[in-house]
Amino acid sequence: MSWTQHMYEQTKEMWERIYEHPFIQDLAAGTLSDERLAFYFEQNTHYIDNVVKCRSIATAKAHNDEIRDFFLSRTTMVVEEMQHQVEMLGRVGGTPGARIAPTCHAYTRHILNLAWTKDPVEYLGSFLPCPWSYDEIGKQLKTAALKGASAEWWEFYMSEEHNDLCDNYRAFVDKHSAGLSDERRQQMLDNFIISTNYEYRFWDMAYNQEQWPLG
């Protein structure tokens, strides 16, 4: 079993909870409210902006050309994803530059900390629940009757291009984590578990339109 598959198996029940979340269920049923969708896009623009920063940090810290080029070659795609999210935000009536919510703030601090303090491969391995869970949700949504903004939003995540992207991410982590110590692999797994929790909380944040408790 590959290392990334091992990490998935260790968190499988958590992933099932993500798939069962009311945000995903309403999305598949076509009953997700515009207010919840707009809140999601408001927060996801914050999140992807920080992903771009993380990838820039990982690129600068790369200790060989292969790792550097891996991050460089995919950064443009993340920037394009950000632009698409901004367009979607406008379509559903969200507010550009809306205040970052508590969960989004915490999740982005988590990935920024990983980018700054960990080896680039360890950062990517810990970050995997984000693209991987969207890939798995996209496979499930292929049988759903998505319409309008929701259909456009998920077009990329349901595509073979995104399937290949996630395959390449996992293959990269499996290859370059092979020589890590057991301690560093355990740290990667621990952070993978934290990221998986944050993926669940991100959907929950959007569904409940989470606000700061003291204003």
187-212 pLDDT, tens digit per residue, is: 999 999 999 999 999 999 999 999 99
**pLDDT value at position 119?**
96
- Reported confidence tier of residue 77, pLDDT bands at 50, 70, 90: confident
Locate all alpha helices (DSSP H) within the chain, ordered by sequence.
3-10, 12-19, 22-29, 34-61, 65-91, 102-117, 120-127, 129-141, 148-154, 160-176, 182-208
What the chain holds in terms of domains, given with CATH numbers, is 3-208 (1.20.910.10)
- Using alpha carbons, list the distances in angstroms from residue 116 to 24, 102, 120, 127, 158: 32, 21, 9, 13, 31
**pLDDT value at position 81?**
85
Q: Is the pTM of this model over 0.85?
A: yes
